[in-house]
Chains A and B, each alone.
Chain A
Amino acid sequence: SAVISQKPSRDICQRGTSLTIQCQVDSQVTMMFWYRQQPGQSLTLIATANQGSEATYESGFVIDKFPISRPNLTFSTLTVSNMSPEDSSIYLCTSEAVDGYTFGSGTRLTVV
């Protein structure tokens, strides 16, 4: 199955700042997906990132707040902009492999 690597694994950020999270897949994939998991909650899809086109955002998520880049078939970034404490969550990326969707360990973000 595909191996997902995310950086950073965790960060503590000041409110009003931005953080860019990197996601690397060890094989070429068509689509990558970014999820948010708030404390004690399930995973909510933020957006779908297709290489060479604009990301598709889910209801409640906007590009200005969560800009995404997808420069090639193995890499994507998610930026959490103008952060507030409500953005404190685990952010996870995934892609589909032959045997299913694989997740990395995620990025644990705390906004203070």
Chain B
Amino acid sequence: QQQVKQSPQSLIVQKGGISIINCAYENTAFDYFPWYQQFPGKGPALLIAIRPDVSEKKEGRFTISFNKSAKQFSLHIMDSQPGDSATYFCAASIRGYGGATNKLIFGTGTLLAVQP
């Protein structure tokens, strides 16, 4: 129940295209869903995150779509660029709104390659 399933494992997209990465979870207590971007030799960097009270969140070229009933969420990268080539991880946590701190469960990761 603590798992977060991520697909695809790898993705090749042409420059200017849309990259879509999907995640699914089982634990309905999860209330915080971030996406991380990781370049080789670096730690994961928080890209964008969503709470289950909204169905979509957009920041620049990055959009999270959230489907609470299906227990799924996805990352869309619009106008993908070669500089977006990295590994992307979805994650989930029971975070609460009162400062509670809980562990972050990660998906298996997606290696994105954007071809020029």
Contacts and interface: CB of A to CB of B under 8 A. Distances in A.
| B is bound to A | yes
Contacts, number: 49
A62 interface: no
A101 B34 contact: yes
Contact of A105 (B36, B43, B101, B106): B43
Interface residues of A, number: 26
Interface stretch (A12-20, A42-50, A78-86): A42-50
Nearest to A90: B43
B101 A42 contact: no
A21 B101 CA distance: 22
Contacts of B34: 100-101
A60 to B, nearest CB: 13
Q: Name A's interface SS.
A: strand
Interface string A54-80: 000000000000000000000000000
Nearest to B93: A101
Interface string B68-111: 00000000000000000000010001010001010111111100
A30 B36 CA distance: 22
A103 B101 contact: no
A101 B43 contact: no
Given A43-B89, A94-B104, A101 B42 contact: no
A90 B41 CA distance: 9
A95 B102 CA distance: 10
Interface of B: 34, 36, 41-46, 49, 89, 93, 95, 99, 101, 103-109
6 smallest beta-carbon distances between A and B, as pairs? A103-B43, A31-B101, A43-B106, A105-B43, A96-B101, A100-B46
